[in-house]
């Protein structure tokens, strides 16, 4: 078993690397050109990656407390998430958020809050095998109560360290939550890890703007808003390919459908034609 390095044992690189091939309890970088495993992270310690080229560790980000990496909602946001208004709006939000994309197979929702969107999804796409997650235990309990009679699995999970095996889901959904993950690039890497080849990452989020930053400062919620270019760059780093990126609401919101390439997409001998 490889010992996890302390901050003094490895230099800080200040960059996020691609997930790579697992090596024991570590993960190696994308030098191996595979996408299995993710940067290792433990609460209170820096994220780190095992580089298969240099046979050494490098740190991906400064040390953060668990609460800083995956914070809970502010009081205002939690109240809205549990409100009757949000539950009423959710059935209309699902087709808008997914841009009409069909939801099929094993579906994971990250940052699902009280379960309003999950309920709307199961009513409109009853054929899916849906798992909804949230990092906040209070939200998970609220979702478990509201979804008790529905065929939906509800679990507590940190989006930056998902408790699921590699290639577990056909789709991952994220509705207005990534900007609350301080290390949202790590969440994107985790999405890549749990997606099956050919799987989709679908959702929407706020983009960085004066309005969005002001609102979050007022309600006191932890956040790290991003620009569309930064999001596209993060997708490229982990090998996700944008199928549809749409900036709407005057550039305040980004809707996205991105795909994890299938195995065939990485086979040079595959011409894309059959005989």
Domain segments of the chain as ranges: 1-63, 67-265
- Written as six digits, the tokens of 208 are 């960085």
At residue 271, the 3 state secondary structure works out as coil
Cα 200 from Cα 167, distance rounded (Å): 12
Has residue 273 got a pLDDT over 80? no
Please compute the mean of the pLDDT values over residues 180-208 and round it to a whole number. Answer: 95
For the structural domain made of 67-265, what CATH number should be given? 3.40.50.150
Judged by DSSP in three states, 266 sits in: helix
Check whether 162 has a pLDDT greater than 90.
Answer: yes
- Mean pLDDT, residues 152-162: 96
What is the structure's pLDDT at 73? 60
Alpha-carbon distance of 46 to 31, in angstroms, equals 21
Question: pLDDT value at position 250?
Answer: 80
224 versus 75: which is more confidently predicted?
Answer: 224
Query: How confident is the model at residue 81, as a pLDDT?
Result: 74
Statement: residue 125 has pLDDT above 90: yes
Query: What backbone torsions phi and psi does residue 143 show, to the nearest 5 degrees?
Result: -65, -40
Q: Is the pLDDT of residue 51 over 70?
A: no
Closest CA to 246 of 63, 99, 57, 58: 99
Higher pLDDT, 230 or 5: 230
Letter string b/e over residues 40-78, b meaning 16 or more CB atoms within 10 A of that residue's CB: bbeeeebbbbbbbeeeebbbbbeebeeeebbbbbbeebb
SS3 track for 3-14 = CCCCCCCCCECC
User: pLDDT tens digit string along 243-266?
Assistant: 999 998 788 999 999 999 997 665
Residue 159 reports pLDDT greater than 50:
yes
* Average pLDDT rounded to a whole number, residues 27-33: 38
Residue 195 is predicted with a pLDDT of 98
pLDDT of 25 higher than 90: no
Q: Output the average pLDDT for the chain.
A: 76
**CA dist., res. 223 & res. 248, Å (int):** 20
């Amino acid at each position: 078993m490889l010992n996890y390095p302390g901050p003094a044992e490895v230099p800080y690189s200040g960059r996020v690397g691609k997930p790579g091939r697992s090596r024991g309890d570590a993960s190696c970088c994308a030098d191996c050109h595979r996408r299995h495993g993710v940067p290792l992270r433990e609460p209170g310690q820096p994220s780190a990656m095992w580089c298969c080229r240099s046979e050494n560790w490098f740190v991906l980000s400064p040390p953060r407390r668990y609460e800083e990496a995956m914070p809970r909602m502010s009081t205002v946001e939690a109240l809205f998430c549990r409100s009757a208004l949000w539950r009423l709006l959710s059935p209309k939000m699902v087709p808008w958020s997914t841009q009409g994309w069909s939801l099929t197979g094993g579906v994971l929702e990250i940052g699902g809050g009280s379960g309003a969107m999950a309920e709307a999804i199961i009513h409109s796409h009853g054929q899916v095998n849906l798992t909804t997650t949230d990092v906040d235990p209070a939200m998970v309990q609220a979702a478990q109560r509201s979804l008790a009679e529905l065929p939906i699995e509800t679990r507590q999970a940190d989006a930056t360290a998902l408790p699921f095996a590699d290639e577990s889901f056909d789709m991952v959904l994220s509705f207005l939550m990534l900007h609350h993950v301080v290390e949202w690039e790590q969440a994107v890497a985790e999405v890549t890890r749990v997606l099956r080849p050919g799987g989709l990452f679908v959702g929407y989020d706020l983009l960085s703007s004066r309005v969005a930053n002001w609102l979050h400062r007022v309600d006191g919620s932890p956040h790290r808003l991003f620009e569309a270019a930064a999001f596209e760059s993060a997708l490229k780093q982990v090998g996700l390919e944008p199928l549809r990126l749409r900036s709407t609401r005057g550039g305040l919101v980004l809707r996205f459908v991105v795909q994890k390439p299938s195995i065939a997409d990485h086979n040079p001998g595959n011409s894309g034609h059959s005989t």
